[in-house]
Structure 1
Amino acid sequence: MVNYISANYIYPVITPPVKDGVIGFEPDGTITGVYTKEEAVELNITDIEYYEGVLVPGFVNTHCHLELSHLFKKIPQKTGLPAFVKEIVAQREQAEETVLSAMKEADRQMFENGIVAVGDISNVLASKVVKENSAIYYHTFVEVFGFDRPSKPIIDNALSICENFEPLPASIVPHAPYSVSEELFTAIRSVTRFKDILSIHNQETAAENEFFELGTGQFAQMYERLGVQKSTYHGNGENSLRYHLPQLPQNNLLLVHNTFSTKQDVDFARQQHGFVFWCLCAHANLYIENNLPDIEMLLNEDIKITLGTDSLASNHQLSILAEMQVIQEHKNISFDHLITWATLNGAKFLNIDQQYGSLQVGKQPGINLLNIGPDLKIGNHTKVARLV
């Protein structure tokens, strides 16, 4: 049996919006057709359920830390990244049942917020039980870090975690340029498979670039406190992107945050790597650094942008709609761009666009209803209802 729904606009994303269009779908969510109002009449399609608003595909959250969900409202805001990381380390270890309960609630929240797929950072196996019982598609990024430790034990442990995540998809990724040595990057390359997708926190704070360019600042102080020796890359006059990007394989790569990335960085990335996606986590950027990336510049550069929520340690909710809201509140970005970032681009990065990211026949992308008017402005009043 095919069900039919209609709204003021349908946004297939892959094609122009359809005013008063109709979507047909099977009980399992497989789309059977996207029709204009006139086509639906010609095909004698009846028993259509009508909604006020805009129908869009399910959202794709390309950057999350499900493991940190128990730190909701535990970390002070606007302290800067080094202080934020220090708090994460200090408060992360909690009772297993506390961590598991918080992850389940975060997964439920994302599902209700219309999220159908997530790229999730993990350091341990704890989230597997939640992911394998979730209606959401998860790709797990098993994150490694180490600047002064032998790389083999780090990689061996990451490989063990990846294997234990099976049959769920997982890949080994570096944490950030300031926490991964040249040797560890080499080890990551050695275990990266052709099908793997990669992620790295990039230029989230001005202190990161300062550390690489000048060898000074908060990360230099952190190294000193920990007794870690700086490398020749720290203070060599070039920023962090120029350190890590040439060391990463030519797989789909997500640069996360990019709060202090410039046009020169975009140009460098374009020259160095053919499969780069740029993830914006606006609420987390404001929560930690009280700053936003140069989103207009990134848009004008015509690069592939995705959206992420980061974690409940650095956000008030796990909602891609909320990320769209805060971007539209601070920047003049059109709905067309925002919805593409929130759906199709994320699906392309995760290599799941054959099923997710757009309203097309044969796909099971999920269908969300946004209660927005013909001006297509996302405001604080905007809500998402997951219909399929």
Structure 2
Amino acid sequence: MRYRKFKADFIFDGKNILGEDKVLITNENGVIETIVNEAEAGDGVQAFKGWLSPGFINCHCHLELSHMNNVIESGTGLVDFLITVVGKRGFEKAIIAEAIKAADTEMYENGIVAVGDICNTADTIPAKHVSKIRYYNFIEAIGFTNNNISIVFERFIKLYNNFIIEELTDASIVPHAPYTISSAMFELINNASAGKIVSIHNQETEAENELYRTKTGDFFKLYQQLNINTGFFQPYGKSSLPSYLTLLSKAKNLLLVHNTFTTQADIDFAFQQSKANQQQVFWCFCPNANLYIENQLPDIKLFIDNDCNIVLGTDSYSSNYSLNLLDEMRTLQTHFPFLETERMLQWATYNGAAALGIQDRYGSFEKGKQPGILLITNFRDKKLMQTSAATRIV
């Protein structure tokens, strides 16, 4: 068997930075064999300037919204943003398909090997069939009222089955967000996605917490726009996370996305709930989308201090200027200078693979895995710079 050998200034193996005296060895197909000392590697070692890393895992994206680049003004706040998405997402099918294809290519070229993708339509299926990226397809359910709930849910089952029939079997039916899902809809989702990975947009705006505490706030503007009768909804007297999380008890992994207005009490509740249900909770940050929509970031230090499982996402072109995880890391490092690149790379590789349940192949340089190999260049004192870039080596 022919082996390939790689060394660089540093090797990041998915969890730790290894020194320049180490050599990464794969077979000719990029399957990891081992990491050895350079003195033991023999001839034929390819040397690079920069860091070697496993391929990136983008845990939150809306590929089907790729045609909405620069369509929505930034800084509107989440409620007005959602109203605009609903009103402007309808484009010609050919334009949508071309934008999806271009976004998929962009992510691949930026070193992304797997994506947790939100799906409201079947528009992305053709691109995913030929993509070099592995997708976990989150079929997103929406239904805030209890009217005709079984009939409404059938639409999401039908969409889910479209992906399964097309052999895109990494999929589950998931709730959009607490403010668009009734308790009855939560129950249907919980049963349908038992043992699977469930994603939900969580506490992206303080208005979500207001709704659950006191049934007040900006979301009533959205409900009026969508002609939704909210008479049945009763406030819980507490923030949204402890109000809904008990309704997602059967998922294997919970992927909570955004968390911009999540507090210590919310984190404590999530830990207690996940332990009781033998679940893993992952907290996904999409900082550029948070700045684009609400101009506010989560309290990253709070999550680190609580030893949370953190992962990263790009969100979509409706709320971002790129689909590049290095851009997300750069933004975090700018606003939270204490963040080490090593820590963020773990979020973007090993943690991301674990969140999507694909750590058997992706996320780290361990024997038998085929995670892809990236070369990340241009650092200053181990910090990312604006010129830092990820290039695919394998």
Task: Calculate the TM-score normalised by the size of structure 1.
Answer: 0.95
Number of the residue aligned with 2:117: 120
For residues 316-363 of structure 1, give each alpha carbon's deviation from its aligned partner in whole angstroms, at most 9, with x where no partner exists: 000111111110111021122101100001100111101000011211
How far apart, CA to CA, are the structure 2 residues paired with 1:16 and 1:73? 37
How far apart, CA to CA, are the structure 2 residues paired with 1:323 and 1:54? 18
Go from structure 1 to structure 2 and tell me whether the alpha carbon gap of 1:158 and 1:199 turns closer, same or farther (over 3 Å shift): same
Q: Work out whether 1:93 is the aligned partner of 2:98.
A: no
Report the CA distance between 1:233 and its aligned residue.
5.4
Go from structure 1 to structure 2 and tell me whether the alpha carbon gap of 1:239 and 1:231 turns closer, same or farther (over 3 Å shift): farther
Tell me the amino acid that sits aligned with residue 104 of structure 1: K
Q: Work out whether 1:164 is the aligned partner of 2:162.
A: yes
Report the CA distance between 1:118 and its aligned residue.
0.3
Report the CA distance between 1:193 and its aligned residue.
3.5
Number of the residue aligned with 1:284: 289
How far apart, CA to CA, are the structure 1 residues paired with 2:61 and 2:371? 20
Tell me the amino acid that sits aligned with residue 77 of structure 2: G
How far apart, CA to CA, are the structure 2 residues paired with 1:280 and 1:127? 23
Number of the residue aligned with 2:326: 321
Equivalent pairs counted in the alignment come to: 383
Out of 10-19 and 69-78, give the one that drifted further.
10-19
Contact 1:19–1:36 (CA under 8 A) maintained in structure 2:
no
Go from structure 1 to structure 2 and tell me whether the alpha carbon gap of 1:15 and 1:376 turns closer, same or farther (over 3 Å shift): closer
Q: Work out whether 1:65 is the aligned partner of 2:56.
A: no
Tell me the amino acid that sits aligned with residue 271 of structure 1: Q
Number of the residue aligned with 2:193: 192
Number of the residue aligned with 2:148: 150
Number of the residue aligned with 1:202: 202
| Superposition pairs of residues 129-140 of structure 1, within 5 angstroms | 129-140=126-137
How far apart, CA to CA, are the structure 2 residues paired with 1:377 and 1:102? 32
- Aligned to 2:131, the other structure's residue is in SS state coil
Contact 1:199–1:254 (CA under 8 A) maintained in structure 2:
yes
Number of the residue aligned with 2:34: 33
Tell me the amino acid that sits aligned with residue 241 of structure 1: L
How far apart, CA to CA, are the structure 2 residues paired with 1:174 and 1:350? 16
Tell me the amino acid that sits aligned with residue 353 of structure 1: Q
Report the CA distance between 1:205 and its aligned residue.
0.6
Task: Calculate the TM-score normalised by the size of structure 2.
Answer: 0.94
Number of the residue aligned with 2:241: 241
Contact 2:83–2:225 (CA under 8 A) maintained in structure 1:
no
For residues 18-65 of structure 1, give each alpha carbon's deviation from its aligned partner in whole angstroms, at most 9, with x where no partner exists: 33321112232111221222332xxxx211111101101000000000
How far apart, CA to CA, are the structure 1 residues paired with 2:229 and 2:76? 25
Contact 1:56–1:369 (CA under 8 A) maintained in structure 2:
yes
How far apart, CA to CA, are the structure 1 residues paired with 2:14 and 2:223? 46
Contact 1:344–1:353 (CA under 8 A) maintained in structure 2:
yes
Number of the residue aligned with 1:345: 351
How far apart, CA to CA, are the structure 1 residues paired with 2:21 and 2:133? 29
Number of the residue aligned with 2:387: 381
How far apart, CA to CA, are the structure 1 residues paired with 2:89 and 2:110? 26
Report the CA distance between 1:373 and its aligned residue.
4.1
Out of 329-338 and 348-357, give the one that drifted further.
329-338
Contact 2:139–2:172 (CA under 8 A) maintained in structure 1:
yes
Contact 1:59–1:343 (CA under 8 A) maintained in structure 2:
yes
5+ residue gaps, structure 1: none
- Aligned to 2:236, the other structure's residue is in SS state coil
Go from structure 1 to structure 2 and tell me whether the alpha carbon gap of 1:227 and 1:165 turns closer, same or farther (over 3 Å shift): closer
How far apart, CA to CA, are the structure 2 residues paired with 1:373 and 1:242? 41
- Aligned to 2:48, the other structure's residue is in SS state strand
- Aligned to 1:378, the other structure's residue is in SS state strand
For residues 286-325 of structure 1, give each alpha carbon's deviation from its aligned partner in whole angstroms, at most 9, with x where no partner exists: 0000000000111110010000000011110001111111
Sequence identity of aligned pairs in percent? Answer: 42
